[in-house]
Structure 1
Amino acid sequence: MGLALAMSAELVGVTELRPVDSEDSPYTYAFKVQCTSCRETHPNFVELTAYETHSLSGSRGDANFVWRCKSCRRESSASFKTKPVAYTAEDSGTWKNIVELEVRGLEFTEFEVQGDWTCKSAANGAVYEEVDLQQGEWFDYDEKAGEEVTITEVKWQIRRS
């Protein structure tokens, strides 16, 4: 089954919002996970990155995330289907899938933003590399353009893709 992490935000003066995610600096995605077999939800957020893989038991390949439910003991997995895409000024105020995952035997039910995001000034292309969205908003000032740049109303949604 495919799941997507979608976001909605109001962007003013910025565009190209995306997680800082490279092999040298992988973005850690944190999700609440639920077993699709017994419906048990793990009490903590679990973390996965696109650059780390784990072996599935029975030599069935690898996945970015492998989890065994403590209740029913079923092994489940998730793998990234896409690299993260940018949320642009044109997307402002609408829902957009940022990254897609292939999941087997589990569902992600909630996302917790962690780590840095990056965006660009819509006026002059200046890059902001340490955008922290944990509070659901971010504010800065574009010196060259002489105006405030903001990201507000940040919301997350996990949906089938």
Structure 2
Amino acid sequence: MTTITNHENKYRLTKRITCARMVKIALQFKANLENVTDFHIESFDDFIWYLKLECTKCHTPSDTYHDINLRQLSSNLNIEPSKPSMNYTSDDADNHTFKTVVIFDCRGIEPIDWQPGDGWACQGVESGTKFSKIDLSENKEWMDYDEKAKEAVTINELEFKFVKVK
């Protein structure tokens, strides 16, 4: 039996609902970048997706976040094979542009909430300093200091949305 469970094993979705129609849902986000650019997922294959899911048949949402990576996906939730190589740049931030991070193939379940977690990276606009292992778990923001450029660097005001795609 295929299941998706959270780490507390409170919420289960079984293979019985895989006969549901497949829906593609894109996770898009935008953020404010200060003195950094090329904001992206550091390693797509190892990235943990923290998602709250809802059963589309019974409309029962999960009450906790599921921590799912590429190796744990099932026939109910999968990542579209063509992984976007998404870099959110300072130009995108200046234009308040939403960009697609990932597209999920969903059968019988849909994501309803997302926490960005850790595993992000970016670089200084002026210095090119690489910042890795960025953790956005707390308040969906990050701050550091770029020694080469002698300025504060920040990612904040992170917003996201789920969009159905064809």
Structure 1 alignment gaps of length 5 or more: 54-63, 67-76
SS of match in other structure, 2:140: coil
CA-based RMSD of the aligned residues comes to 1.7
Distance 1:29 1:4 in 2: 13
Please tell me the residue identity of whatever aligns with 1:80.
Answer: I
- Give the one of 26, 47, 51 matched to 1:4: 26
Displacement, 1:103?
Answer: 0.9
For 1:3-152, list aligned pairs within 5 A: 3-23=25-45, 26-50=46-70, 52-53=71-72, 64-66=73-75, 77-81=76-80, 82-84=82-84, 85-92=86-93, 93-134=96-137, 135-152=139-156
Please tell me the residue identity of whatever aligns with 1:159.
Answer: V
Distance 1:13 1:139 in 2: 11
Displacement, 1:115?
Answer: 1.9
Taking a change above 3 Å as real, the CA distance of residues 65 and 20 of structure 1, as seen in their structure-2 partners, is farther
Normalised by the length of structure 1, the TM-score is: 0.78
Displacement, 1:140?
Answer: 1.4
Please tell me the residue identity of whatever aligns with 2:149.
Answer: A
Distance 1:39 1:27 in 2: 27
Give 1 or 2: higher helix fraction.
2
Normalised by the length of structure 2, the TM-score is: 0.76
Quote the sequence identity (%): 28
Displacement, 1:22?
Answer: 4.7
Distance 1:32 1:138 in 2: 23
The answer to whether the 8 Å contact 1:12/1:151 transfers is yes
